[in-house]
Amino acid sequence: MTPITQRQKELITKNILAACGNIEKLNKTGYNFLYLASGFIAHYNLEGFKSYYWAEGDLQQDIESHAKQNQWSNFRNGEKDADYYHAKRDCYNMILGGLVAKKCAEERTLLNVWNS
C-alpha cells in the first residue's frame, strides 16, 4: 500500500476540518479517508455519510472519540505497510490538531468578548 503524501494529508485535513463546521463541504477525498478510519462506517456512499453527520458537532465528536484506535500503534517501523498506516495516523493527528486549534481560537474569542 502506498502511503499518502504530505500534500494529500494537508488536503484531507483541510476538507475534514471544513466539514466539521458544515458537513456539505465534505468531498470524496475526505470521505474516503474517514470511512476507512477505525470507528467510521461508509454509510453506503458520501451522501449517506453526510446524512448521518448532519447535526453540527457530530462529526467532530466522532473524530475525537475514535482518536485512540486511529493511531495504528500496532505497526512498527520497517514492518509491512507500516509507512502506510503511520501516514494515516499522521493525517488523523493533523485533523485532531486542527480541531484543538479551532477550540482554542473560539475560547480566546469568548474571553476577549467577555473582557471587553
Write the secondary structure of 47-85 as one string of H (helix), E (strand) and C (coil): HHHHHHCCCCCHHHHHHHHCCHHHCCCCCCCCCCCHHHH
pLDDT of residue 110: 61
How far apart, in whole angstroms, are the C-alpha atoms of residue 71 and residue 87? 10
pLDDT digits (tens, 9 = 90+) for 46-96: 999 999 999 999 999 999 999 999 999 999 999 999 999 999 999 999 999
CA-based torsion, 38, 94, 53, 84: positive or negative: negative
Query: Hey, how many other C-beta atoms are within 10 angstroms of the C-beta on 26?
Result: 21
Average pLDDT, the chain: 92
Rounded to the nearest angstrom, the gap between the alpha carbon of residue 54 and the centroid of all alpha carbons in its chain is 16
How far apart, in whole angstroms, are the C-alpha atoms of residue 47 and residue 35? 12
* pTM listed for this prediction: 0.88
Q: Report whether 3 contacts 90 (CB < 8 A).
A: no
